[in-house]
Amino acid sequence: VPVVAIVVAAGSGSRLGAAVPKALVPVAGVPLVTRAIERLAEGGVGEVIVVVPAAEREAFVEVLASAPVPVIWVDGGAERQDSVANGLAALPDLDEADAEGQVVLVHDAARAFVPAEVVARVIEAVRAGADAVVPAVPVSDTVRELTDTGSVVVDRARLRAVQTPQGFRRGLLEDAHAALYETRMTVTDDAAAAEYIGCDVVLVEGSRDAFKVTDPFDLVVAEAIAARGEP
């Protein structure tokens, strides 16, 4: 049973100010979504479901014409969570035992430079029995939390910034998204969805390279990473 990754690429990416969807923005000539899928394949993913803006599907199909793994295409939803749910609904049919235990990753196309070792680490932790696996990195800034009257400092040593790909057993991730749908609960990542149905979230070491390309500053960093080559 192949490890499958749902790659969410259906955001508008308006913060980037590009004329095309963010995932199609080239860095050193190679679109972000292409880079993301290459890294996933290198890390052990055997099949991808790419969730794209409905109106842009053809442009994506063209860009991924020679993807290193089979691609299933799905239209995105209003929020990231809806896009992931659409991806889950498109998972290939397997017999029940295989489906329940299949390793499913969810990855932001915008985290195009995730090292293959991080992908492999997440898969390995799911195989070792973890419910929900999240790559995470320490936070270098001191962080203050806004309150009704001002702000309070937060103990930086206890903070972690969360990245993708996040890994799950398929049955569990399906249950988590079904629960969110039923209760109209909103979350910003899939580990929070798993936590919502009572699962423990296991952290593994992420990488600064797995940062999410969001604004023009990030594109400068992305170009520099592409010029540097493999970590």
Q: Which residues contact 3 (CB under 8 A, 6 or more apart)?
A: 44, 45, 46, 47, 102, 103, 104, 105, 123
C-alpha 157/C-alpha 130 separation (Å) is: 24
Tell the smallest beta-carbon distance from residue 98 to ligand C5P (Å): 27
Nearest-CB residue for ligand C5P: 11
Say whether residue 6 binds ligand C5P (CB under 6 A): no
Q: Segment near ligand C5P (CB under 6 A), from 9-17, 55-63, 116-124, 149-157?
A: 9-17
Rounded to whole angstroms, how far apart are CA atoms 120 and 41? 10
Q: Pick from 2, 46, 77, 171 the residue near ligand C5P by CB under 6 A.
A: 77
Closer CB to ligand C5P, 162 or 197, in the complex: 162
Closer to ligand C5P by Cβ: residue 11 or 44? 11
Q: To 5 degrees, how large is the angle CA 125–CA 126–CA 130?
A: 85
Choose which of 80, 121, 170, 177 interacts with ligand C5P (CB under 6 A): 80
Binding flag, residue 106, ligand C5P (CB under 6 A): no
The CA dihedral of 207, 210, 214, 220, to the nearest 10 degrees, is: 80
Q: How far apart are CA 118 and CA 95, in angstroms?
A: 29
Give how far Cα 164 sits from Cα of 4, 28, 55, 121, Å: 14, 22, 25, 12
- Which of these ranges, 73-81, 113-121, 171-179, 216-224, lies near ligand C5P under the rule CB under 6 A? 73-81
Binder among 8, 24, 27, 132 for ligand C5P (CB under 6 A): 8
Region of 42 on the Ramachandran plot (φ > 0 left; ψ -120 to 50 alpha; else beta): alpha
Q: Which is nearer to ligand C5P, 20 or 99 (CB)?
A: 20
Q: Does 86 bind ligand C5P (CB under 6 A)?
A: no
Among 43, 44, 76, 165, binds ligand C5P (CB under 6 A): 76
Q: Which is nearer to ligand C5P, 9 or 41 (CB)?
A: 9
134 touching ligand C5P, by CB under 6 A: no
Residue 219 lies near ligand C5P (rule: CB under 6 A): no
On whether the CB atoms of residues 153 and 144 are closer than 8 A, the answer is yes
Question: Residues, the chain, total?
Answer: 231
Shortest distance, position 8 Cβ to ligand C5P, whole Å: 3
- Strands 132-138, 201-205: pairing is parallel
